[in-house]
Amino acid sequence: MAIWVDADACPILIRTILFKAARRTGVQLTLIANQFIKTPTAANITALQVPQGFDVADNEIVKRVEPDDLVITSDIPLAAEIMDKGAHALTPRGELYELDTIRQKLNMRDFMDSIRSSGVHVGGGPPPMRAADRQQFANHLDRYLAKHTHL
């Protein structure tokens, strides 16, 4: 079991929670991004910088992910793709994607993209990260690690 992070858009506070969890459990944590990501010195924590380009980091995660791995991402298409491989996806806000709803989320995302591309202004993006979001993320991560690491 490993944790993969779609790190380009992952908030620093969430990365800090992940670093602490990786140190505590010994689980392999890999951050994948198009830019340099500073990580603590630990054998089980690594960062992989991939070339710039559309979905390059996402494709690298899909290539490497194994069943029961956990991927931290807000990217719904990436979440759907890794779930097809038997992995799990958790957003930085603490929402664990579910198999029975990921297709609905993907369809809604595609629908909203088509509306935006037709020139209609829709929303202003997600609200700022709150303390409750960080706590929900930490709680989901702890439950996942307890279930999958047998600690």
| E strand intervals along 7-149 | 28-33, 45-49, 70-72, 88-90
Segments forming the whole domain that contains residue 101:
2-149
Could you tell me the pTM of the whole model?
Answer: 0.86
Q: Is the pLDDT assigned to residue 151 strictly greater than 60?
A: no
Residue 78 near residue 7 (C-beta atoms within 8 A): no
Give the chain's domain count.
1
The enclosing domain of 29 has a CATH number of 3.40.50
Q: Residue 47: exposed, middle, or buried by beta-carbon count in 10 A (0-12, 13-18, 19+)? A: middle
User: How confident is the model at residue 101, as a pLDDT?
Assistant: 73
Q: Tell me how many helices (H) and strands (E) the chain has.
A: 5, 5
Distance between CA 146 and CA 13 in Å, rounded?
21
CA distances from 82 to 19, 64, 67, 108 (A): 22, 10, 9, 18
pLDDT of 97-144, one tens digit each? Answer: 987 776 676 766 565 566 667 776 666 667 788 999 999 999 999 999
∠ CA 137-48-23, rounded to 5°? 45
Where do we find the tokens 């993969």?
Answer: 4
User: How confident is the model at residue 129, as a pLDDT?
Assistant: 87
